[in-house]
Chains A and B, each alone.
Chain A
Amino acid sequence: MANTLNIIQAINQGLMVEMKNDSTIVVYGEDVGIEGGVFRATVDLQKEFGKERVFDTPLAESAIVGTAVGMAINGLKPVVEMQFSGFSYPAFNQIITHVARMRNRSRGQHHLPIVIRAPYGGGIRALEHHSESTEALYSQIPGLKVVIPSTPYDAKGLLIAALRDPDPVLFWEPKRIYRAFKQEIPEEAYEIPIGKAKVIKEGKDITVVTWGAMVPDVQKAITMLEKDNISIELIDLRTIAPIDRETIVESVKKTGRFLVVHEAPKTLGVGAELISIINEKAFLSLEAPPTRLTGFDTTFPLPRGEKHYIPSPERIAKTILDVVRY
């Protein structure tokens, strides 16, 4: 039977199938129960699994994550939702001081199989704090994994891998493309390994690395450049922490050129880390300066300004040309 889903439906199905497989999974957060989440990622889960395993909480992100620490220590696998990644800041302390550290603090006695889900990124004409790309903030913290899917297939497979991971995973979802396209995916459970990037398209002249909602924009840019006869290797990072250095470095050794495209601010971002990796591991292969095309080092603007903030396919295409013609 065809199972053609968009990203939000794939996430819902991932939760659905894995909750059937694993009775220790509990899902909770703000509006995730009766309403099924403001984006409907958890729709029908409460109906299927009951209020004991899928429930709404008081409006308090710190306690949503803090109680997940206790639940995980006591043998459950909590999947908690931050309604927007920009609402995760009240939980920052719990995430950094406890979620990330409990395994090391207890020298392996306690480990926390927690999944923290949050829609991230801009482009949906939302209010302030609803458009943040916060992956770099969390990726620097030892003990956390940060995962961002870009397709329905990856969303389901990476989410199931996160649900089976013995360590905490921040699962940041590209809300701009939640419903952008559908894909035929298996109905049953399958895993896509965390920590592995995906080469979407092989090429010889330049490596372009991106993730999440920027993947389709980079693909549009590549389509725009078809007539320019440039061979572009496109890599979807998929896991932001820990970064798959091997795939990136191997690619740059082959192409000699590197561009990273991300929505988050430029300074001290994930792009800076990728370029450091390339400098350390592929310096002698470089034909042009490794380059970043990113959001500005500004606060994410309100809707009337957001089209300027997120790198457009036109800017991506121009930057690819700049790097290739350096």
Chain B
Amino acid sequence: MDFKKYNPLENKIYQVLNENGEVVNKEDVPNFEKDQLLYLYRMMLYTRIIDDKALSYQRQGRMLTYAPNTGQEAAQIGSAYAMDKEDWLVPAFRELGAWLTRGVPLKNVYLYWYGNEWGSHMPEGVKVLPVSVPIASQLQHATGIGMANNIKGEESVVVTYVGDGGTSHGDFHEALNFAAVFNSPVVFIIQNNQYAISTSRKIQTVSDNLAQKAVAYGMPGILVDGNDIFAMYNATKEAINRARSGQGPTLIEAYTYRLGAHTTSDDPTKYRDNTEVEEWKKKDPFIRFKNYLVENEMIDEDWEEKTKAELEKEVMTTFESIENNSDTEILDMFKYHYEEITPQLKEQYDDYISFLEGGK
């Protein structure tokens, strides 16, 4: 693909599959084998099941606050699939599909949302940073990782995510500016899901789109149909290739929609019309990818039902494996603030343990 054909100042949007799954950009269909296509579709099913189960556990009082990803699967999985093993992923907090694609075990994801820090401790070799709650702050870490790669002469690149609301933050501006100035190998992906909790994208900025913010930093920006997994893969791959070959950072706006709530603490019916949601449901990334796969005789209903059943079982087993046995070890609260526990922390810990044991 060629970024130059999609000038964000002309509000052009890059698409390979339209809403119905028809190929609109024939030369850009990725050259995937069948098992790759099935992997991607299976990953989309997996994330949606994880979301659905988490929401249902939350309603049953078994899960805490959870930020669902439903509707944004293609934006996340398509982009993360373009990464190599050694590349770094620097997430915000709504990147379930990207985490799983990059090798974060579901157990970690559920453990995090269940309220235990060990969820953010990744298995060896999984180069995914913990969830970053302070909006847009993580983009600077991505820039810094890339700057270190340049200094050390390493070839890995960094992919990082932020929401549409995050583009209003000073940290967004500073991270992109630093990345451009220092030619940091970073791909910045805005998941524009149209809302920052209840605040619509129009209130964040009067720019026609968010991709065009790249122009001011002197880096390419591209507006991509974020519900099109092929378009997201291609755009990210091209941006990664640029980064890896020393051409610096890229800004990608994944134009998508959060079909669910911001988190389980929020009621989206208060700030958006059902008609709007219904319109976006027609653009659900599943519909077009499934239609494409069915059309090309890659999957059928039997395959889908069987796969869903397998995944549901796995998701439930994983949640049950952490449920009711994931309380924090008290010493863990104290021992990870410094390499060596300070006398102050040791004393506070000892006093508390002594209290619990019925001492003085």
Contacts and interface: CB of A to CB of B under 8 A. Distances in A.
Interface of A: 26, 52-53, 57-58, 60, 62-63, 65-76, 78, 90, 93-94, 97-98, 102-111, 142-143, 145, 166-167, 195, 242-243, 245-246
Contacts of B130: 102, 105-106, 110
Interface string B53-94: 000000000000000000000000000000000001010000
Interface of B: 88, 90, 117-118, 120-122, 129-130, 132-134, 137, 139-149, 151-152, 158, 170-171, 174-175, 177-178, 181, 332, 336-339, 342-344
Contacts of A93: 134, 137, 171
B187 to A, nearest CB: 14
Contacts of B147: 67, 70-71
Contacts of A243: 344
A245 B343 contact: yes
Contacts, number: 136
A246 B141 contact: no
Nearest to B339: A166
Contact of B343 (A52, A63, A246): A246
Contact of A245 (B90, B338, B344): B344
A74 B152 CA distance: 9
A108 B121 contact: yes
A143 B337 contact: yes
Contacts of B90: 70
B87 to A, nearest CB: 12
A212 to B, nearest CB: 21
B175 to A, nearest CB: 6
Contact of A76 (B148, B175, B339): B148
A75 B144 CA distance: 11
A319 B132 CA distance: 48
A78 B118 CA distance: 27
B132 A67 contact: no
A68 B117 contact: no
A78 B178 CA distance: 15
Contacts of A109: 120-122
A57 B336 contact: no
Name the prevailing secondary structure of the B interface residues: helix
B114 to A, nearest CB: 14
Nearest to B146: A70
B120 A105 contact: yes
A271 to B, nearest CB: 17
A39 to B, nearest CB: 24
B141 A106 contact: no
B174 A98 contact: no
A57 B182 CA distance: 9
B152 A75 contact: yes
Contacts of B175: 63, 66-67
A98 B129 CA distance: 12
Contacts of B170: 62, 90
Interface centre among A26, A71, A145 (most CB of B within 10 A): A71
A70 B141 contact: yes
Contact of B143 (A67, A97, A105, A110): A67
B148 A71 contact: yes
Given A26-B151, A63-B174, A70-B140, A108 B336 contact: yes
B121 A66 contact: no
A76 B151 contact: yes
Contacts of A71: 144-145, 147-148, 151
Given A73-B129, A242-B342, A98 B141 contact: yes
Contacts of A70: 90, 140-148, 158
Contact of B174 (A62, A78, A245): A62
A254 B59 CA distance: 61
Contact of B337 (A63, A74, A142, A195): A142
10 contacts: A58-B181, A62-B174, A74-B148, A75-B148, A76-B152, A78-B144, A103-B336, A103-B338, A104-B337, A106-B130
